[in-house]
Amino acid sequence: MKNPRILIVRTDRMGDVILSTPVIRVLRGVFPEAYLGMMVRPENRELVEGNPDLNAVLLYDKEGREKSWLGTLRFALELKKHRFETAVILHSTNRAILVTRLAGIRWRVGYARRLPWLLTGSYPYLKREGDRHEVEYNLALLRLMGLPMEEGIPLTKQPLFVPRNPKQEEKVDAFLHAHGVKEIAPLVLLHPGASCPSKRWPADRFAAVADRLIESRGAQVVVVTGPQEVFFGEEVIRLMKHPALRALGTLSLGELACLLGRAKCLISNDSGPVHLACAVGTPVAAVFGRWGGGLSPKRWGPTGEKSIVLHHDVGCRPCLAHRCTIGFVCLQAVSVEEVLAAAEHAAGLSRV
């Protein structure tokens, strides 16, 4: 392929999209004159729009405009106008495969998970085993295009990338200035939300870590959440002895990237902001609970060089994740002291 037209498809969540960005970089490096597009959900637009390695961003609104099959057909007909020759389907859903087929994309590579007979090249779906990181699983698909993807490359050598918009940088600057944040004091972000209770470290422990950082390190703490997680952020702030800045459900993903770029450290559950922080070069102290196969930090842990995972395998066999009947003892096993030490080390904080 000399100047190929390649579509990268990733229509699931924020963290999944961010962990797919090394694929963009590799394809641009191999095919510098290629026309590269990426198909994502509208809420993830800011994660890829402005990426210098992409020529186009295609928004597939599977919960709205394209929810019906008629809407999906209309989308496929619009997609056909881009004349893509190859689709790299990183999240193999029925719709993703059908859309690329209906759009007349001749070569469709993906995982042998859904409708494998509609793929022209498939890779065994082994993600549930969790033997590799998600970044490595994503890059493995490129072997189906004949690219010699080397195994065993450290994740820190396969960097994530999210663009940062200057206007959003200005908005974040204004937010920090309005709340009296001083540049000389270390800025630490807390993200206590997550999509599943098996991922959520107790709010009182987040609060205790935040208070200790304020008292011993002079930190300025910002509690951030998505729109569906405001309750968890409010609970942490309520339990804190010291005041914290609120950014609860108010920031776009692009604005959150800019805020993370100013932070010394992010303390977070196993959730999308972990990967967003890594993409902008901010160290993470990430709390993980569940361990089973494709749910573990081996697959989903932070890729940043200074980031630290807090995780204890407490011996549950099998791990029932959100169906846990013993009070998520894996999360309870992660102490305030070890998260505090991890955050201080990751951020390079010294005692005041």
pLDDT confidence of residue 3 = 83
Query: 182-210: per-residue pLDDT in tens?
Result: 877 899 999 999 989 999 999 999 999 99
Are residues 135 and 279 in contact, defined by beta-carbon separation less than 8 angstroms?
A: no
Task: Report, as an integer, the average pLDDT of 15-38.
Answer: 96
| CA 63 – CA 50 distance, rounded (Å) | 24
Asked: is 5-153 a CATH 3.40.50.2000 domain? The reply is yes
Q: How many CB atoms sit inside 10 A of residue 326's CB?
A: 10
**CATH topology identical between 5-153 and 167-347:** yes
The rounded percent of the chain whose pLDDT value lies above 70 is 97
pLDDT higher than 90, residue 49: yes
Domain ranges of the chain: 5-153, 167-347
pLDDT confidence of residue 156 = 67
For 167-347, CATH gives: 3.40.50.2000
More confident residue, 105 or 349: 105
The structure tokens listed for 169 are 């940088």
Q: Which of 59-68, 232-241, 327-336 has the highest mean pLDDT?
A: 232-241
pLDDT confidence of residue 316 = 85
pTM over 0.85: yes
Query: Which residues 6+ apart lie within 8 Å of 120 measured at CB?
Result: 106, 107, 108, 109
| CA 230 – CA 192 distance, rounded (Å) | 9
| CA 137 – CA 140 distance, rounded (Å) | 5
More confident residue, 314 or 42: 42
